[in-house]
Amino acid sequence: MGSLVIKALRFYFALILLCFAARQAAFAQQTEDSLRLSELRRLRDQIVLDQGLRSADALVVMTERAVAEAARQLVGLEIVLSNGSTIRVTSVESELKTAAALVKIGLQAKSSVTVNLQLSGRINSGEVAKDTLRLPIRVTDVKLGNGLFSSLLVKTLLGEWLKPETWNDELPAIELPLEIAETMRIPASKFDVAGEMPMEISTPAFESPLKFSLVSLLVLNKRAVLALRLDRNAASVIQTSHASANHDDPLALEGEIEQLAKDLNGNGDLRIRIGRRVLSRMLTQIAAAQRTDFDIRLKQGRVRAEEVNAIINITNYTDVEGGQGRADITDLSIDRIAEGRISVRLSGQGELDPQLKGREYGIPYSLSPHVTFAIQDQIVPLEFAGEGERVILRALPGATFPIKMRISAKVAGRDLGINRTVAVEAGRWLNRIELPSFFGREIPLPQRVEIDAGGNWYVTKHRKLNYTLGNLRLAANEDALDIIADLKLTTP
């Protein structure tokens, strides 16, 4: 019976943390003062060393309500052992406290007798170890819910398994994978450019991975905070202690921690803060992804007309019959993020092979010159917008950038130079860059788990947990984007 409950709790603890983005829940009794002080000092030291997580490329803040609601979805989970005994999760109570996540789990184990247990435990802030983020688990109390006679029998059967120390010897730390993969996407597009040199521009679809590393998971009062970085070489490791006047006062330490973490909060169930470096990496990948960002097809049009009075009136003209071209965006870099917008510097280069025909002083001609052109350090304003439950980056309506062209040729012994500036609508190209979401929209929850005689477990029945984002709010200031939303959980 004891090993049955151990397997169930090990699975259950890991499930709460791995099935949802914040991946932790909490609620339990107060530990001894010395342990509480140790937890608080360690959290304080970690925040000080990480400078309030200011070096994080992305922050995810989840409120206690969202974490607790996610954990409660596992009520009803049934675990079946090879001998036919079953365990059913009957309740989950959770609370997020400063420096420790606590949980109370109600279990009903059925074999020859029915046993009702309640385990109380605590999960501390995570620490990086090799390729995982370890979350230490500590069971603080085990209670029986059976009547007096049954309790005496159960105590005889379970023995040492009614002691928290036994559980702590058996339960491993929860280990979360450090790597989180996201994908950035830009859809293919095709649009017309009007003017003296009309053309059709096609842009290819673009998809690029962004890999983040989970470097810190902090448990704060009523919220949990995950910190992510684009690099794996900057893990949060506590190496020293920072003594202060509050070192031996738990209440004062909690106050100090809240002051240090005052920026690590949110106004909704979920807050995602994406830093400038992530946005810069996205733009850099777009610029470096391919050598042809614009595929240009020239359309028919008159690009030059000149009236000359030479005894008789003569019209010199040049028409574009067609042609092909291409452009490569060589640089996309952030100029500033402020007032809800992001200003981007854009540079590029390209070439054209137009097919020209015309008449010069009555002499007809046709030419196929090779033309090079450049886009030089142009500022393009972009904005963030919500599209359903996703956040996209797009050019402001009406924003353009110029492509300056010069066509040079010698016709009838005369140098012919044609300068044209084509204004390309930025919004026709940069109209939908999907930002990382860090969350799926559907979580597969196990409803029935079977454990064989060798201790291997298999999920034999699932149910879906869907969640939607509501009341989406966006704010772009101080070189970062904040996405704030409320969460609604539903099960079909």
Regions in the chain scoring below 50 on pLDDT: 1-31, 148-149, 234-242
Question: What CA–CA distance (Å, rounded) separates 23 from 123?
Answer: 11
Nearest Cα residue to 193 out of 89, 272, 297, 102: 297
CA distances, 267 to each of 162, 277, 388, 474 (Å): 41, 24, 19, 12
As a whole number of angstroms, the distance between CA 384 and CA 375 comes to 24
What are the tens digits of pLDDT across the range 155-165? Answer: 655 567 678 88
Q: Are 155 and 137 in contact, with CB atoms under 8 Å apart?
A: no
Instruction: Write the burial class of residue 329 (CB in 10 Å: 0-12 exposed, 13-18 middle, 19+ buried).
Output: buried
Please give the order of strands across the beta sheet that includes 132-135. Answer: 127-129, 132-135, 174-177
Q: Which pLDDT belongs to residue 15?
A: 40
From CA 143, how far away is CA 120, in angstroms rounded?
8
Identify residue 319 by its one-letter amino acid code: D
Distances (CA, A) of 440 to 14, 308, 377, 472, 492: 18, 68, 37, 16, 16
Reading the block at residue 401, the tokens are: 């950038």
Which of these, 322, 320, 321, 319, lies nearest to 296 by C-alpha position?
A: 322
- Residue 447: what pLDDT? 86
Give the long-range contacts of residues 11-14, CB within 8 A, separation 24 or more: 11/79, 11/449, 11/457, 12/74, 12/77, 12/89, 12/105, 13/103, 13/121, 13/123, 13/137, 13/171, 13/174, 14/174
- H or E element that contains 62: strand 58-63
CA distance 250 to 39: 10
Contact 67, 467 (CB under 8 A): no
pLDDT of residue 207: 83
Contact 52, 225 (CB under 8 A): no
What is the model's pLDDT at position 343? 94
The CA dihedral of 342, 485, 473, 431, to the nearest 10 degrees, is 50
Amino acid at 451: I
CB 123 within 8 A of CB 136: yes
Of 269, 225, 272, 264, which Cα lies nearest the Cα of 483?
Answer: 272
Cα 260 to Cα 22, 101, 107, 269, 469: the distances in Å are: 21, 19, 38, 21, 29
What Rg do the C-alpha atoms of the chain give, in angstroms? 32
Is residue 311 a contact partner of residue 324, using CB atoms and an 8 Å limit?
no
Angle of CA points 348, 379, 385, to nearest 5°: 110
In whole angstroms, give the CA distance from residue 316 to residue 318.
7
Per DSSP (E only), the strands in 221-311 are 223-229, 270-275, 294-298, 301-310
Write down the pTM of the prediction.
0.77
C-alpha–C-alpha distance, residues 145 and 117, integer Å: 6
- Residues contacting 3, CB < 8 A, separation 6+: none
